[in-house]
Amino acid sequence: AQPRNRELLADLNPAQRDAVTHVGGQLLVVAGAGSGKTRVLTRRIAHLLAERKVHPGQVMAITFTNKAAAEMRERVVELVGRRANAMWVSTFHAMCVRILRREAKVLADVLADSGSSSVTSNFSIYDADDTKRLINLVARDLDVDPKRYPPRGLAAQISNWKNELITPADAKAAAAGDAERMAAEVYPEYQRRLEQANACDFDDLIMRTVELLQASTDVAEYYRRRFRHVLVDEYQDTNHAQYVLVRELAGTERTEAGTEPAELCVVGDADQSIYAFRGATIRNIEEFERDYPQAHTILLEQNYRSTQTILSAANAVIARNSGRRDKRLWTDSGEGDKIVGYVADNEHDEAAFVAGEIDALVDAGEASYSDVAVFYRTNNQSRVFEEIFIRLGLPYRVVGGVRFYERREVRDALAYLRVLANPQDTVSLRRILNVPKRGIGDRAEATVAAYAERERISFADALRVAATSGSDIGLAARSANAIARFVELMDELGKLVEADEPPADILEAVLERTGYRAQLDESDDPQDATRLENLTELVTVAREFGEMPEAFQTEADAVSAEEDAEAAGVDEPEQATLAAFLERVALVADTDSIPDADGDAEEDDEEDDDEDTAGVVTLMTVHTAKGLEYPVVFGSGWEEGVFPHQRTFGKEDELAEERRLAYVAITRARRRFYVSRALVRSAWGQPMYNPASRFLDEIPAELVDWRREEPTNGASSGGLPRAATTWGRGGGFGNDSAQARLAAGGMRSTSFSGWKDDWKKTAALELAVGDRVNHDKYGLGTVVSTDGSGPRATATIDFGTSGTVKLMLMGSVPMVKL
């Protein structure tokens, strides 16, 4: 094993080597982007297995996405062989699902002691949409005014509490203000309904696992003894509940049974914490040393990913955040090319620039499609890129499963599967009750729901009563018959599940026997053809899942290897069952990447394939890009209101998080970084005139080569008013022509659904001549004149040295009236 060891350590710098070989206790690796944190984690695992003779079953590694987990597993297998497959490498959520399914009985006992009920091992996992639906139902039943207390806000508050491990009872005591008090009312009822539906939402997965480990010393002892090594990547994005989970798993002191704490190794970068909206807190990193006084800390300072130019840009941007520990990241990979900047007339022009540039790079042999990634701030921005890529025939895929799994037909099909796997799943059951239409109307549904409430039984059980004695509960005979047929259909399909048929076959049967496919087949609506394609895609996903050799049947290998499996506590092999498939889908749709319907379903074609034009361009949000790297990166939509997102205006900490997001975006690039913005962008069917992102101004001017700057007259951009100079040069916003880009008659307007809610929420700022205002970017000003009304309202404001600017007032403007 000696040569192998040298191999494992050869291409590491001394600090990295220390981290890989460190023995005992807790280890914290804090370091900037691209400094090899993930590499250290992977090598450390390989080193543990190869050199320290740790059994793979004793290793638990936690990553932020399933994709990252798969990659890590693959790397370790490459390094030490297939036996490494017995490791647990997964996301927090997947790990918790696994534990909860195994320990459902124990959890039920534990909870029964404390008087609350629990879920059984076939529980459903509710994603954000299911959660919102259920909260909607609960809020309606509790007569909550949805205008005053939007379900979305209630859901967010409940989620926050769960991330802080605050139970419904604690929430009541902790709630401050009307909105929180209302959320505290909804929380226990929501929780009760979840339990009744035998479902966990995402936050429950973590919270319940923590509950389980804290309540049962046997279970805690089992996992402690089993996992002697716990490793966490992207530690900066763990929230409080996850933090406690790690602490419970690894332990801080010897247990009564004499088990020492596990070796815990976490790696992260406080500057890349970008999930505060999910309750993640940098505190976990910053206070790690305090919480584990004996912990060893290692800093990594050499960046191996990017050129000096890219690194300097990223460093300059993140340096604007206050209260951070300054890091000295350096690279010896040379200056590299300048950053290329582009100011587009509108989002279509921007997409055309990006597409043209990619084409040119590939033609010139400087990059293959798979070398290129295009980033945007929010998912809805992908559409314009997709349109032009399709038109030009550029191969691409949209990463970020949300979109595919949010499609109605996909959700319908999955709802069927979920009801089959877990008949108590009320949200899914009510979703498909009359889809396709089978004569069970709203009134019938309401009657059944009311009966269920009255009798305190589940909706599913009430439905069975309705099927046999409908008239007793007040149903018309026709409805009762329709319900009876539905129940019968589901029972038929249920037999396939009992027989453990492959998920793809069950899905096919659902689409056939429910008439779902036939209905789309017969339709003339072109959209229905797309729906059919998406369902076909879903069947493919299910089929592939059934055939997946490793990721989910990994433990089988370990068992066949028959190494001291018993001692290490290796599980039963996991099967490609319907439940496993649904779990996979639910977790993927959360944070992860799945090929879009139009995309390429192939696994990552990264690194080692050397065909020049191989692969596809990757489109994704910056959030999804965390931890990844690409030779060529396009950062699009760098505009105030887009990136930083308008909802962060005026909020110091949220803006700091947007800036970290910008840091993440830039540091994904290895050789080339492009940055672009559009002068006009359609939002909610209205043209929006966004000034340059402040983050653009923060990139040192000498690092950027502007391919196209803001026009100094209106000629090329649909009648933009004259502006004094281009922006961003010579400091300050004094000459910022961000101003006054009003005009724009005849712009194409496109509707971006994602924006809708945000804009709708906020009315136009009401201003009159003479009013004093404070603008995020321009500072103090006085209103000179106003024009238009509603969404078209504008005001011309004198900002003194920052110039006179005409601004739209619709939506939440980064400005307050004084």
555 contact choice in Mg ion, ligand ATP, none (CB below 5 to 8 Å, kind-dependent): none
How far apart are alpha carbons 385 and 403 in whole angstroms?
Answer: 15
CB closer to ligand ATP, 400 vs 718: 400
Q: Rounded to whole angstroms, how far apart are CA atoms 502 and 516?
A: 20
The nearer residue to Mg ion, 401 or 627, going by C-beta atoms, is 627
The answer to whether 534 and 597 have CB atoms below 8 angstroms apart is: yes
Counts for the chain of helices (H) and strands (E), in that order: 32, 21
Count residues binding ligand ATP (CB under 6 A): 19
Piece in contact with ligand ATP (CB under 6 A), picked from 36-44, 517-525, 528-536, 563-571 = 36-44
Would residue 562 be called left, alpha or beta, if left means φ above 0 and alpha means ψ between -120 and 50 degrees? Answer: left
Distance CA 370, CA 799 (A): 46
Detail the residues annotated as belonging to a binding site for ATP. 31-38
Least separation in angstroms between residue 227's CB and Mg ion is 22
Among ligand ATP, Mg ion, none, partner that 428 touches (CB below 5 to 8 angstroms by kind): none
**Distance, CA of 326 to CA of 318 (rounded, Å):** 9
Question: Which 8-state DSSP code applies to residue 85?
Answer: G
Q: How far is the CB of 72 from ligand ATP (least distance, A)?
A: 10
Identify whether 193 is a catalytic site residue: no
Q: Which two structure tokens, joined as six digits, stand for 772?
A: 């004093």
Least separation in angstroms between residue 627's CB and Mg ion is 4
635 is a site residue for ligand ATP (CB under 6 A):
no
Find the shortest distance in angstroms from Cβ 673 to ligand ATP. Answer: 14
Residue from the set 305, 327, 418, 660 that interacts with ligand ATP by CB under 6 A: 305
What secondary structure letter does DSSP report for 548?
A: -
* Among residues 304, 316, 395, 645, the one that binds ligand ATP under rule CB under 6 A: 304
Note if 668 is an active site residue: yes
What the block records as the tokens of 554 is: 């990994």
Q: Does 627 bind ligand ATP (CB under 6 A)?
A: yes
- Output the CA torsion 49→284→275→325 (10° steps): -100
With CB under 6 A as the contact rule, the residue among 35, 346, 382, 786 that binds ligand ATP is: 35
CB of 630 to Mg ion, least distance (A): 14
Which of the residues 668, 677, 741, 806 is marked catalytic?
668
Distances (CA, A) of 809 to 514, 749, 769: 50, 18, 14
Whichever of 225 and 670 has its CB closer to ligand ATP, that residue is 670
CB contact set of 610 (below 8 Å; sequence gap of 6+): none
Q: Which does 33 bind (CB under 5 to 8 A by kind): ligand ATP, Mg ion, none?
A: ligand ATP
Does 38 help bind ligand ATP (rule: CB under 6 A)?
A: yes
DSSP string, 773-811: EEETTTEEEEEEEEE--GGG-EEEEE-GGG-EEEEE-SS
Task: Tally the residues of the chain.
Answer: 818
- Tokens for 570, please give them: 């290796």
At what angle are helices 477-498 and 503-513 packed, to 10 degrees? 160
Closest separation in Å from C-beta 586 to ligand ATP: 25
Catalytic residue among 42, 58, 191, 272: 272
Provide the 10 A C-beta neighbour count for residue 654. 16
Q: Are 272 and 660 in contact (CB under 8 A)?
A: yes
Q: How far apart are the first and last CA of the chain?
A: 71
Q: Which is nearer to ligand ATP, 299 or 743 (CB)?
A: 299
Q: Which does 35 bind (CB under 5 to 8 A by kind): ligand ATP, Mg ion, none?
A: ligand ATP
Smaller CB separation from ligand ATP, 66 or 422:
66
Does residue 233 carry a catalytic annotation? yes
Amino acid at 102: R
- Asked whether position 12 contacts ligand ATP by CB under 6 A, the answer is yes
Question: According to the binding rule CB under 6 A, does residue 11 interact with ligand ATP?
Answer: yes
Nearer to Mg ion, 38 or 306 (CB): 38
**Closest distance between Mg ion and the C-beta of residue 36, in Å?**
8
To which H or E segment does residue 173 belong?
helix 168-174
C-alpha 139 chain-centroid distance: 26
Q: Which region, judged by CB under 6 A, interacts with ligand ATP, from 8-16, 180-188, 609-617, 743-751? A: 8-16
Nearest CB to ligand ATP, comparing residues 17 and 98: 17
What is the CB neighbour count within 10 angstroms for residue 650?
16
For 238-377, where are the alpha helices, taking DSSP H only? 240-250, 283-286, 288-291, 308-318, 347-363
Output 69 or 413, the one with its CB closest to ligand ATP.
69
228 binds ligand ATP (CB under 6 A): no
Q: Which stretch binds ligand ATP (CB under 6 A): 5-13, 209-217, 683-691, 740-748?
A: 5-13
63/131 with CB nearer ligand ATP: 63
In the bound state with ligand ATP, the residue whose beta carbon lies nearer, of 384 and 669, is: 669
Q: Which residue in this structure is represented by tokens 């099927």?
A: 467
Whole-number Å distance between alpha carbons of 436 and 774:
54
Catalytic one among 103, 127, 180, 234? 234
- Residue 336 interacts with ligand ATP (CB under 6 A)? no
Closest CA to 233 of 3, 341, 365, 76: 76
Q: Give the active site residue among 103, 130, 204, 233.
A: 233
Return d(Cα 389, Cα 213) in angstroms, integer.
Answer: 49
Taking contact as CB under 6 A, which single stretch among the options 32-40, 196-204, 358-366, 576-584 is the one that binds ligand ATP? 32-40
Distance between CA atoms of residues 221 and 200, nearest Å: 24
Residue 238 interaction partner, one of ligand ATP, Mg ion, none, beta carbon < 5-8 Å per kind: none
Cα–Cα distance, 550 to 465 (Å, whole number): 44
Residues that bind Mg ion in the complex, under the rule CB under 5 A: 37-38, 627
Partner from Mg ion, ligand ATP, none contacting 304, C-beta within 5 to 8 A by type: ligand ATP
Q: How far apart are CA 402 and CA 111, in angstroms?
A: 33
Q: How many CB atoms lie within 10 A of CB 701?
A: 13
Smallest separation (angstroms) from Mg ion to the CB of 754? 28
Q: Please enumerate, by residue number, every residue annotated as part of a binding site.
A: 31-38
Instruction: Pull the structure tokens for residue 117.
Output: 């009920």
Least separation in angstroms between residue 10's CB and ligand ATP is 9
C-alpha angle 625/239/637, rounded to 5°? 30
Question: CA 239: distance to chain centroid?
Answer: 14
Q: Which stretch binds ligand ATP (CB under 6 A): 30-38, 114-122, 255-263, 505-513?
A: 30-38
Asked whether position 44 contacts ligand ATP by CB under 6 A, the answer is no
Task: Decide if 419 contacts 429 (C-beta within 8 A).
Answer: yes
272 is an active site residue: yes
Tell which one of 30, 33, 538, 744 touches ligand ATP (CB under 6 A).
Answer: 33
Rounded distance between C-alpha atoms, residue 347 and residue 378, angstroms = 14
Distance in Å, CB of 36 to ligand ATP, minimum:
3
- Token couple for 406: 């949010």
> Measured from the CB of residue 62, what is the shortest distance to Mg ion in angstroms?
13
Q: Which one of 20, 26, 36, 348 is in contact with ligand ATP (CB under 6 A)?
A: 36
Does 269 interact with ligand ATP (rule: CB under 6 A)? yes
Contact mark string toward ligand ATP, 667..696, x via CB under 6 A? x-----------------------------
Q: Examine residue 34 and tell whether it contacts ligand ATP (CB under 6 A).
A: yes
Using the minimum distance from each CB to ligand ATP, give the nearer residue, 333 or 726.
Answer: 333
> Residue with structure tokens 């050499």?
302
Contact with ligand ATP (CB under 6 A) among 26, 30, 37, 226: 37
Please give the C-alpha separations between residue 218 and each of 63, 224, 521, 646, in angstroms, as whole numbers: 26, 10, 55, 49
Can residue 13 be called a binding residue for ligand ATP (CB under 6 A)? yes
Which residues are marked as active site? 37-38, 233-234, 272, 668
Enumerate binding residues for ligand ATP (CB under 6 A). 11-13, 16, 31, 33-39, 269, 272, 304-305, 627, 629, 667
